[in-house]
Amino acid sequence: MWYIYAARFITGLLFLSLASVSDIRTRRVSDKVWMAMGFGGSVLLAVQLYLLDASWHHYLIYVPIAVLLSEALFEVPELYPEGKLNIAVMGWLLLPILTVTYQFYAIEDKMLFWSLLTIPAMMILAFLFYYIGLIYGGADAKAILVLAILMPFYPDIPGFTHASLSMEYVPVMQILFPFTFLVLLNSCLILLVLPPAYFVYNLKNGDTGFPQMFVGYRKDVKDIPGSFVWPMEHVDGSGKTVVKLFPNRDEEDILETLKARGRKRVWVTPKLPFIVPMCVGFVLSFVIGNPITHLLSIFF
């Protein structure tokens, strides 16, 4: 069945590469990319379930997938339009819970059930990360959503994947540490190179300031508009200029205030195209697997 995982790798690499190019150029990714990637992942999942001789109960996993994906990619009616509960929308949102509950009692192969359950679990986690601000861009959250559909299982390509992990632990690992979460972990690890890179860059340019020199750089105020950066400096209520390390506000009002105070150069932090490290993390997750298991293999 390795060819299914190879197809998943090619599909993920293709669409994440397209999304990366768009993210670099505009910091936006068309929903059509995620729709196509989600469709490809859904087809591959259906093929694998068929090859596993899964029962029709397993295919009910498409119910929560459809509900969550529609919430992310399509305009759906509000739950409380004009302050009144929409019963139809409420039923639509409760449908995944009822479906998964039925699957839990109907499916005998609990290992496969829990593996499939990681799909909606990771999709819900993507929504949560976005709403609490751990993920800034909607495209980043949508990438996680469709990756959950594309990669519900750890890949098994001979000589290519999870070299540090014994095969007997793979089923458990894909439930406790889903492959999509692994991609997210490796993507974040890639970003760890940025603080020292910023530090060296700022030292070279003679710009010092702690701790902002580890998360950004100084830029001329006149060059900021349209340059995919957020100003880290802003004026608080008392009229004092302060530094916010992780801003997420539009810069127009901030820049006008800073200009009025005669500021020529200010600290900024870039709007990172996170799809790029996610694409690299996707490849690394196939090639090197889980870095945690590599560390465990060293010490145990």
Average pLDDT on 11-19 reads 97
Per the prediction, the chain carries an average pLDDT of 87
Q: Quick one: average pLDDT of 198-214?
A: 91
Sorting pLDDT into bands at 50, 70 and 90, what band is 296? Answer: low
- The tens digit of pLDDT for each residue in 270-284 reads 988 999 999 999 999
Domain boundaries, the chain: 2-167
Q: Which residue has the higher pLDDT, 194 or 254?
A: 194
Please list the residues that pair with 235 across neighbouring strands.
241
The predicted structure's pLDDT at residue 288: 81
Does 233 score more than 60 pLDDT?
Answer: yes
pLDDT at 168: 67
Rounded-to-integer distance, Cα 202 and Cα 213, Å: 6
For residue 251, pLDDT over 70 is answered with: no
Is the predicted pLDDT of residue 240 greater than 80, yes or no?
no
Residues 107-152: pLDDT tens digits? 988 999 999 999 999 999 999 999 888 887 789 999 999 999 999 9
Predicted TM-score of the model (pTM): 0.88
Query: What is the tens place of the pLDDT at every residue in 31-54?
Result: 999 999 999 999 999 999 999 999
| DSSP letter string, the chain | -HHHHHHHHHHHHHHHHHHHHHHHHHS---HHHHHHHHHHHHHHHHHHHHHTT--TTGGGGHHHHHHHHHHHHS----SSGGGS--HHHHHHHHHHHHHHHHHHHH-S-HHHHHHHHHHHHHHHHHHHHHHTTSS--HHHHHHHHHHHHH-SS----TTTS-TTS-GGGHHHHHHHS-HHHHHHHHHHHHGGGHHHHHHHHHHHTT---TTGGGT-EEEEGGG-TTSSEEESEEE-TTS-EEE-SS--S-SHHHHHHHHHTT--EEEEEE---THHHHHHHHHHHHHT--HHHHHHHHH-
Check residues 234 and 128 and name the one with the higher pLDDT: 128
| pLDDT tops 80 at residue 245 | no
Q: 78 versus 201: which is more confidently predicted?
A: 201
pLDDT: which is higher, 62 or 90: 62
Please identify which residue in the block is written with the tokens 């959250």.
141
Structure tokens at 46: 């259906």
Residue 239 has a pLDDT of: 67
Average pLDDT of the segment spanning 179-208: 92
**pLDDT tens by residue, 160-193:** 665 555 666 777 888 888 999 999 999 999 999 9
Residue 241 pLDDT more than 80?
Answer: no
Whether the predicted pLDDT of 66 surpasses 90: yes
What is the per-residue pLDDT for 298? Answer: 62
Proportion of the chain above pLDDT 70, given as a percent: 90
Band (158; pLDDT cuts 50, 70, 90): confident
| Lowest mean pLDDT segment, chosen from 53-67, 99-113, 128-142, 253-267 | 253-267
